[in-house]
Amino acid sequence: MSLSRAPRAALLTAVVAVGALALSACSGDSNGKSGGGGDTNFVTDTGGISTVAKNKRTTPHTLSGETLDGKQLDVADLKGKVVVMNVWGSWCPPCRAEAPHFAKVAKETKAKGVEFVGINTRDSNKGPALAFEKDYEIGYPSLYDPVGKLIVNGFPKGSLNPQAIPSTIVLDREGKIAARSLMALDTEGLHKIIDPLVAEK
């Protein structure tokens, strides 16, 4: 068997998973039914926000790489902070709708120990994504993930993981996956998902 088949298989898996994300991307599904079924350890409220009890949370796999501005970022280095990770694309209308709220809440909560990180996906080059950040005055970094490798490989199976674009995943101060939204969030929705984790002891 050719050694080159293994990397191709991994890439194919990533492309298929991103394709699945594309099917649910920008769907505007806000029925709050995603996740929470079977023997998972999370519950979904009627607002579409899923949460995990503190003693049931899992740590994501490696979430690191190059940001849109060419720097290196490892989300694990933010341990000790509440980390809000937003999966977005410049081509996605709900991402554009929620962007001003993310920019605002990122500024409001920074002093409370909250860090925002974007995961930009399915932008085949950085130009449109950088323009998006400039247009919406996004002041926090975004990992550049054009083929969805971080989205596919960054989250353990059975955990709260991104299943749509946009998705928002929030890590607690221990770096564990605590909450998720699979729909666009406004300021109120962001505070609803962030504030309980800020208040945790």
Residues 57, 172: contact at Cβ < 8 Å? yes
| pLDDT tens for each residue of 18-34 | 444 443 455 443 333 33
User: What pLDDT score was predicted for residue 40?
Assistant: 44
User: What pLDDT score was predicted for residue 15?
Assistant: 44
**Mean pLDDT confidence for 126-141:** 97
**Mean pLDDT confidence for 3-12:** 46
| pLDDT tens for each residue of 88-99 | 999 999 999 999
User: Which of 106, 80, 58, 63 has its CA nearest to residue 173?
Assistant: 80
Percent of residues, the chain, with pLDDT higher than 70: 77
User: What pLDDT score was predicted for residue 101?
Assistant: 98
User: What pLDDT score was predicted for residue 46?
Assistant: 45
| pLDDT tens for each residue of 165-186 | 999 999 999 999 999 999 999 9
SS (H, E, C) the chain: CCCCHHHHHHHHHHHHHHHHHHHHCCCCCCCCCCCCCCCCCEEECCCCEEEECHHHCCCCCCCEEEECCCCEEEHHHHCCCEEEEEEECCCCHHHHHHHHHHHHHHHHHHHHCEEEEEEEECCCCHHHHHHHHHHCCCCCCEEEECCCHHHHHCCCCCCCCCCCCCEEEEECCCCCEEEEECCCCCHHHHHHHHHHHHHCC
User: What pLDDT score was predicted for residue 104?
Assistant: 98
**Mean pLDDT confidence for 79-92:** 97
Q: Is pLDDT above 70 for 82? A: yes
Distances (CA, A) of 94 to 114, 166, 182: 23, 7, 11
User: What pLDDT score was predicted for residue 42?
Assistant: 46
Please count the other Cβ atoms lying within 10 Å of the Cβ belonging to residue 131.
Answer: 11
The verdict on pTM exceeding 0.85 is no
Tokens read off for 23:
């099917």
Q: Is pLDDT above 50 for 194? A: yes
User: What pLDDT score was predicted for residue 38?
Assistant: 36
Q: Is pLDDT above 90 for 73? A: yes
Distance separating alpha carbons of residues 174 and 3, to the nearest angstrom? 38
